[in-house]
Amino acid sequence: MTKKLAFLFLMMAILMIASPVYAQSGGAPASTNWGPIGIGIGMGLAAGLAGLGQGKVAASVAEALARNPGARPGIQLALFIGLAFIESLVLFTFVLLFIRTVK
């Protein structure tokens, strides 16, 4: 255990020392390319928030089905259409990011 911990701390120390090495680029950076970072943040926000929304939908559907299994067809219809509408917002983001970055 101690051996493993020692190894871990050693690795961390090495990485800390080495971190200035990562930051070095050839000469002064002309301009940072923020595109990929923006894509990551945008897509992450869209996907994460839509995940929260779809989670709520799925929770409600599970509850509704547990209460009244006989109403399955109507509930499933609402489930699919609701999920499709939430999901399409993420897909709008995806398409926008794609057409903005890939010319």
Q: Applying CB under 8 A, which residues contact another protein?
A: 73-74, 77, 80-81, 84-85, 87-88, 91-92, 94-95
> What is the smallest separation between the CB atom of 92 and another protein, expressed in angstroms?
6
CA dist., res. 61 & res. 27, Å (int): 57
- Closer Cβ to another protein, 6 or 74, answer by number: 74
- Which residue, 10 or 84, has its beta carbon nearer to another protein? 84
Least distance CB 58 / another protein (angstroms): 14
CA distance 88 to 86: 5
How many C-beta neighbours within 10 Å does residue 51 have? 12
Alpha-carbon distances of 68 from 73, 75, 78, rounded to whole Å: 11, 10, 15
The least distance separating another protein from the CB of residue 47, rounded to whole angstroms, comes to 11
Question: To the nearest whole angstrom, how small is the minimum distance from the Cβ of residue 84 to another protein?
Answer: 4
Which two three-digit tokens encode residue 103? Answer: 């010319």
Query: Which of 47, 35, 33 lies closest to 102 in space, CA to CA?
Result: 35
- Of 9 and 85, nearer to another protein (C-beta) is 85
